[in-house]
């Protein structure tokens, strides 16, 4: 071990790592543009989803979409309540529970809709998750174990990405850890071998942690429906660790579930009617799809524990290899803990991390769906604390003289991956488009795009100057050339510039073929002259565009 590390205790190094994790979150709140799903979260949080109209074959002023990304003008309580009603009516058409969007709506009212403001709520939840991870680790492993679990969670690349992502996954991890922590505090308080305390103090503590458990369960279910998988695992842990007091825990579980009944009755029923579950299905039998299910299992672990958001641009084979490596590490840690007679704490770690993943895998196999690998495993992010807890247990209980080196090596790996993700990858695609527009704002510009997806349209509106001289014509690839020709025919002098954005992945359609691109160039030739071409790229395929700037030929 390097000599310099011998002068610092493990605890001090872990505190420094936690501080770095918090600082990284703060300084990166506004360091990148909204990505596709984030701007959708903004749309839903304003309560103005009803204002959004999908582009048709008529050019529109791009700035008109800004109304959907801002709160409406309100003159009193009645208007505020009307906005809240529209917010809930918009959410029942989405596949997620409402708590995250309601929280973002209230946060939006306080701090506005900038990137930093919108992400600050999720970052706050993630800092709370780091603190709760310390509490959970301390409850089960002691002070140093709590610090190590908090540091691993704070610097984990996958969680860091979701800590600065305006989606519900960052707050979901907070509710997962808080629920688990509250349950184990109650189990400890019911343990006759606990440290001596007065009965009144024990009773107050039980009431406190029972309320926390009920609230965390209710919030978790109102944040993400798959949170129910964790509840199944926690119920099994209760039966294994403290079945004599099962009724106390049952009351807490039932209480948390009952709080959700009004939303389930009104909202979830409508969501199920509106849900597009077919996109997860496959027509093949379970035998043919088994290799894909196993790949999803491996890639999920590789993404959660090693790759983080880098998985969005890496070949699937590398993600599979990383997953196999993660499985090997977890298996080796588990085997070593088993041989060292650390079987109860090993069982807890496996129940929190691996068993929910296996449960989701079994559900996918049984229903013929592929939800496990959807969004690079974000649907099962609730397994991340349990997997990191398993690594923490091994370092604390089995690493012995290698404890400091193992902890530092893992934390440095996580810090390196996270730092490179935020410093080496371009995240300013739409600012480059805005720079081109601002070079001549007085010129009437028509943006021609082969995507009608709202993630593309709304980001254009958010980042480009709010001027009436910028128009948008967005159509599927096979319709774009003829619609553009029809648009230009009546008034050939209306547009001084044409900005053609060719999306590599239009989301709701196919990419442009060579022939379709040729047809569009033929429409522009003669009237306009190509002045500039540029490649725009971000962190994944949805952010890749070929930009072509055309200016009208002088007469």
Average pLDDT over residues 93-113: 94
Q: What percent of the chain has pLDDT over 90?
A: 74
Q: For 343-392, how does the pLDDT look when each residue is reduced to its tens digit (9 = 90+)?
A: 999 999 999 999 999 999 998 888 878 888 888 899 999 999 999 999 99
Please report the pLDDT score of residue 156 as a whole number.
97
Average pLDDT over residues 456-463: 95
CB 405 within 8 A of CB 143: no
- Residue found by looking up tokens 């490649």 in the block: 535
Query: What would you report as the CA-atom Rg of the chain, rounded to the nearest whole angstrom?
Result: 26
Total count of residues recorded for the chain: 555
Closest CA to 407 of 393, 419, 387: 393
Which run of H or of E encompasses 464?
none
Q: For 33-76, how does the pLDDT look when each residue is reduced to its tens digit (9 = 90+)?
A: 999 999 999 999 999 998 898 999 999 999 999 999 999 988 88
Dmax (CA) for the chain in angstroms is: 93
Please report the pLDDT score of residue 3 as a whole number.
60
Signed CA dihedral, 467, 470, 471, 476: sign only: negative
Reported as a pLDDT band with limits 50, 70 and 90, residue 475 is: very high
- Answer yes or no: is pLDDT of 174 > 70: yes
Please report the pLDDT score of residue 286 as a whole number.
61
- Answer yes or no: is pLDDT of 2 > 70: no
- Answer yes or no: is pLDDT of 279 > 90: no
Could you tell me whether strands 528-536 and 60-61 are parallel, antiparallel, or unpaired per DSSP bridges? unpaired
Q: For 24-43, how does the pLDDT look when each residue is reduced to its tens digit (9 = 90+)?
A: 999 999 999 999 999 999 99
- pTM summary value: 0.94
Please report the pLDDT score of residue 272 as a whole number.
82
Q: Is 360 helix (H, G, I), strand (E, B) or coil?
A: helix
Reported as a pLDDT band with limits 50, 70 and 90, residue 99 is: very high
Q: What percent of the chain has pLDDT over 70?
A: 96
Reported as a pLDDT band with limits 50, 70 and 90, residue 441 is: confident
Please report the pLDDT score of residue 373 as a whole number.
84
CB atoms within 10 A of CB 358: 12
Q: For 310-323, how does the pLDDT look when each residue is reduced to its tens digit (9 = 90+)?
A: 998 899 999 999 99
Q: What is the mean pLDDT of the chain?
A: 91
Please report the pLDDT score of residue 333 as a whole number.
96
Please report the pLDDT score of residue 142 as a whole number.
94
Least confident of 3-12, 13-22, 268-277, 448-457: 3-12
Buried b (16+ CB within 10 A) or exposed e, 251-278: ebbebbbebbeebbeebbeebeeeeeee
Please report the pLDDT score of residue 297 as a whole number.
94
């Amino acid at each position: 071990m390097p000599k310099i590390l011998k002068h610092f205790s493990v605890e001090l190094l872990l505190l420094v790592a936690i501080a770095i994790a918090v600082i990284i979150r703060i300084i990166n709140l506004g360091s990148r543009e909204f990505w596709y799903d984030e701007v959708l979260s903004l749309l839903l949080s304003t309560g103005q989803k009803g204002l959004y109209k999908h582009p048709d074959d008529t050019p529109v002023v791009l700035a008109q979409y800004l109304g959907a990304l801002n709160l409406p003008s309100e003159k009193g309580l009645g208007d505020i309540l009307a906005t809240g009603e529209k917010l809930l009516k918009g959410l029942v058409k989405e596949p997620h529970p409402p708590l995250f969007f309601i929280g973002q709506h209230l946060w939006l009212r306080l701090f506005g809709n900038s990137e930093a403001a919108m992400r600050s709520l999720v970052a706050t939840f993630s800092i709370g998750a780091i603190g709760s991870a310390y509490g959970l680790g301390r409850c089960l492993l002691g002070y140093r174990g709590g610090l190590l679990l908090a540091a691993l969670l704070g610097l984990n690349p996958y969680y860091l990405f979701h800590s600065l992502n305006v989606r519900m996954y960052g707050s979901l991890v907070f509710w997962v850890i808080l629920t688990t922590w509250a349950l184990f505090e109650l189990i400890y308080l019911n343990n006759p071998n606990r440290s001596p305390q007065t009965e009144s103090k024990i009773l107050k503590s039980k009431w406190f942690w029972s309320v926390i458990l009920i609230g965390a369960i209710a919030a978790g279910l109102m944040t993400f429906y798959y949170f129910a998988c964790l509840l199944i695992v926690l119920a099994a842990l209760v039966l294994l660790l403290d079945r004599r007091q099962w009724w106390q825990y049952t009351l807490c579980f039932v209480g948390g579930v009952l709080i959700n009944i009004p939303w389930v009755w009104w909202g979830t029923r409508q969501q199920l009617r509106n849900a597009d579950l077919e996109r997860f299905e496959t027509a093949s039998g379970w035998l043919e799809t088994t290799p894909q299910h196993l790949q999803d299992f491996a890639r999920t672990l590789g993404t959660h524990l090693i790759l983080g958001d880098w998985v969005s641009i890496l070949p699937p084979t590398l993600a599979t290899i990383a997953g196999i490596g993660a499985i090997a590490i977890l298996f080796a840690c588990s085997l070593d803990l088993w041989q060292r007679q650390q079987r109860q704490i090993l069982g807890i770690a496996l129940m929190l991390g691996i068993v929910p993943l296996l449960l989701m895998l079994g559900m996918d196999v049984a229903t013929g769906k592929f939800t496990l690998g959807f969004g690079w495993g974000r649907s099962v992010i609730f397994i991340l604390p349990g997997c990191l807890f398993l690594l923490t247990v091994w370092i604390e209980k089995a690493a012995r003289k290698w404890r400091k080196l193992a902890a530092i090596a893992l934390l440095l790996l996580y810090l390196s991956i996270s730092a490179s993700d935020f410093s080496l990858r371009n995240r300013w695609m739409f600012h480059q488009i805005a720079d081109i527009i601002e070079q001549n704002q007085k010129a009437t510009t028509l943006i021609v795009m082969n995507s009608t997806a709202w993630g593309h349209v709304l980001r254009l509106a958010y980042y480009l100057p709010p001027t009436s001289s910028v128009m948008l014509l967005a159509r599927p690839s096979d319709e774009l050339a003829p619609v553009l020709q029809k648009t230009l025919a009546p008034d050939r002098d209306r547009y001084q510039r044409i900005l053609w954005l060719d999306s590599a992945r239009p989301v709701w359609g196919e990419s442009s073929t060579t022939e379709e691109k040729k047809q569009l160039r033929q429409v522009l030739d003669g009237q306009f002259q190509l002045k500039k071409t540029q490649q725009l790229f971000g962190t994944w395929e949805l952010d890749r565009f070929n930009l072509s700037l055309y200016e009208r030929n002088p007469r």
